Chain A
């Protein structure tokens, strides 16, 4: 039983390839790469069973920097390639790395269908709200009115809210994190990995060249406590410079309240990851941080649901059909049911 002898624990370095990392200085991708490499050794997966699949874009270079199996595929199609990998071999621990253009624009179709099927794949959306590799055009997640190379007078496109999109596409795990909070990222990656089904994690990622500071409101200490809301299952929603603000539900309407005088934490909205209606309310907290009286932007696990996993159902169907009909021999497949002899 040599399997029982445990190998020495892997380290982040074991997951680091020998290729030079070539992202721009200050790019949020560095942090995400580092956090992924930090959490992988903690998982109960053999190193050779990890597979990273990416599409095209800055973030999609990720696969080349991981010392795992991986495919740097084509624009928008990472989810489709990954689906094939995982369905063909469910033993593999498959991760998708994809940017906002890759996932939500050109790859939008594959993104929603992956979530619907609930294939057990971990999906990391690196959201920098801009096209980086093509040098700075607005993305379907850029805010309306954004001035970019392709929208010198301001973009007139309404952006998606990726959390709402994922929930609408029947995602069974939906979370948000950000590049400048390593510990939070690690926690989210671990939660995603624990989940059986497609786990979607949106990561706010700074593009230092084309969209610098897009998410600083949520990461820099001057504004972070007021603008970011870190949610945890079973805990009340509290934020603010002195943890003095909370969110209360007035029916289905989230309201910011002052808890320093009078309102008790027990009156606040207690986060319930299993409640899809409330997850949708959480997703709807999407105010621009520049807006007057804006509500804070939530981070954490929004929603978790246990639902049948596509490849498990397929495996079960194969087993059931095999049990009922057995494996048909090649000779039988070749002859079919009706034959005749010519002498």
Chain B
């Protein structure tokens, strides 16, 4: 709904919307991630729901002005529940020619385009590989949009003329000018960001003042200049009451691990080797020395997982964090944890593969590797996070299952949920599920030697740790005799042990929640089955389709191995099952093999999440097909 607002001499059209997608796009050095984060945090504080998608190049500082160097930050916010960062943008901020070239195709027709004209000189146009003499701002390419051309660089220089700062430092404040302008446009308070700047630059008052001045200059520019005729009004969201914070997937993963260790009464040991996009988990956990968290930056991926196995053996919650290539390297050691039956959490933040693939892009293509990627019969549980905040609960579950069932567990996240953020109604410590993993100090075989592989009713062996008198025993990678754990090459024993290890994992299905319909009806004509980070896109698509009258349901899996006990029955109740995945149909293979149903794969491997429109189209097509 549009209304007119008259303020002093200026008349502005106020556009009311349920949600708006804003994309900040510029050079890697333009501070777009910071601008986006500040805009997001302010939005969150004002009570709107949101979802973000930062997208940056694989290179740290790709050549300035090139398409390779474009860094983007996308936020979708609104008064309704928001599950994805959005498919297309309502507002695009392009700081240079390369940013416009990259992101204009996804700006909605009639959308708002704000460009920094200083980024459209001949040099920048050349760097973005526009043909000589072509300027997209002048050749009609932007005719379909509401375009605001602003020489941000010039305005910032004027605003900071008396700041005493050098040209380079002044240029660095241009993102704050843009942020101030956006705050005006969306009628958002600058207080949060002013507080942030004051804290961040406390030691350099010149820089602090310059940033605040630039921010306010941006706001005032919007407020006073006649050219701006559109403002947006978005109501606060009707979210469940409670206390919220903003969180990214990697951050949620890190604190989920700390909470699990503390709830289990164990120290946390992380063995990790830096890798995109998982390194932030290592960074975050390294901050918690005061909580006794031991982070060990190992010499390589193999040492990382091996040290975590050693840490776990010594009595800690052993964790290793990595991404695809690292998971490949860790395979043999994970097999050791399988045969020794040692608790271990392996965090795999998936990215595009194979090999180095697309390090900064997202994909779900490690599912089969997680489930099967070891030599020998080496089953283990696999758990996947469906959103940034869900990383907390999912990794907590991974740790709980590892400790309570004495097994390595692979936790799958991906670049999309790891770097994305959303508001989170966080729990308090006492709300977290208890984790029961007692350490044995008594001999379970009175009169004889301790039996390290004698199992309880869940099929789980006792956990002990070195330093416990009287229970000395050896574990290792060779096949072991049932119960005693002594090396055994006996053929029948090997088969027994292989089955015992497999059954232990299968029985975990008794300790996880059943699968349920997330939205729509049981027995709907079509079920959209997803796992992991596709949750936001699928739920939005399915909600919109049911609202439009289609008979569609959504089932989403967190526990990918073992599957919930009722999954087969649940899926057989639908006429059709469509499985969208950011891979070539890996879950689909598993579902077809296990339940013998003609599940249909919808595959996307572009390093990007599913767009809601493309999902809706495919769902309706599948629904209507014979």
Contacts and interface: CB of A to CB of B under 8 A. Distances in A.
Interface string A240-281: 000000000000000000000000000000000000000000
Contacts of B247: 336
B602 interface: no
Interface stretch (B181-189, B297-305, B499-507, B557-565): B297-305
B474 A71 contact: yes
A225 B239 CA distance: 86
A64 interface: yes
A208 B332 CA distance: 31
Contacts of A33: none
Interface of B is mostly: mixed
Given A71-B475, A84-B318, A340-B243, A19 B294 contact: no
Contacts of B468: 48
Contacts of A110: 299, 302-303, 306
Given A84-B271, A329-B429, A330-B259, A48 B244 contact: no
B290 to A, nearest CB: 4
Contact of B476 (A71, A109, A326): A71
A17 B474 contact: yes
B310 A340 contact: no
Given A63-B476, A73-B476, A342 B244 contact: yes
Contacts of A109: 299-300, 303
Given A19-B486, A72-B474, A113-B299, A327 B290 contact: yes
Nearest to B246: A338
A18 B449 CA distance: 10
Interface string A47-75: 11111010010000001101111111110
Nearest to A72: B476
Interface string A86-116: 1111011000000000000000011001000
A83 to B, nearest CB: 5
Contacts of A318: 289-290, 292, 294
Given A69-B473, A83-B296, 12 more contacts: A74-B333, A81-B309, A84-B296, A84-B310, A85-B314, A88-B310, A89-B467, A318-B292, A321-B290, A322-B289, A333-B288, A339-B243
Contact of B306 (A47, A84, A327): A84
Contacts of B45: 338, 340
- Sorted from nearest, which 4 A-B pairs have the closest CB atoms? A84-B310, A72-B476, A330-B429, A84-B307
A4 interface: no
Contacts of A69: 466-467, 472-474
Contacts of B302: 77, 80, 110
B28 to A, nearest CB: 26
18 contacts: A49-B467, A64-B487, A66-B474, A68-B472, A70-B475, A73-B476, A84-B308, A85-B311, A87-B296, A92-B467, A318-B290, A321-B290, A324-B290, A329-B429, A330-B258, A330-B429, A336-B247, A340-B45
Given A53-B310, A109-B299, A87 B469 contact: no
Nearest to B306: A80
Interface string A287-325: 000000000000000000000000000100110011011
Interface of A: 17-19, 46-51, 53, 56, 63-64, 66-74, 77, 79-89, 91-92, 109-110, 113, 314, 317-318, 321-322, 324-331, 333-336, 338-343
Nearest to A323: B290
A342 B241 contact: yes
A88 B242 contact: no
A340 B473 CA distance: 52
B426 interface: yes
Quick one: which of A19, A66, A83, A334 has the most chain B CB within 10 A?
A334
B581 to A, nearest CB: 31
Contacts of B292: 318, 322, 327
B110 to A, nearest CB: 32
Given A92-B314, A109-B299, A334 B289 contact: no
Contacts of A322: 289-290, 292
B546 interface: no
A341 B244 contact: yes
B541 interface: no
Interface string B460-478: 0000011111111111111
Contact of B239 (A47, A92, A338, A342): A342
A89 to B, nearest CB: 4
A334 B269 contact: no
B92 interface: no
B477 A63 contact: no
Interface string B234-253: 00110111111111000000
A70 B315 CA distance: 13
A334 B291 CA distance: 14
Contact of B245 (A49, A317, A324, A338): A338
B551 interface: no
Nearest to A93: B466
A53 B310 CA distance: 9
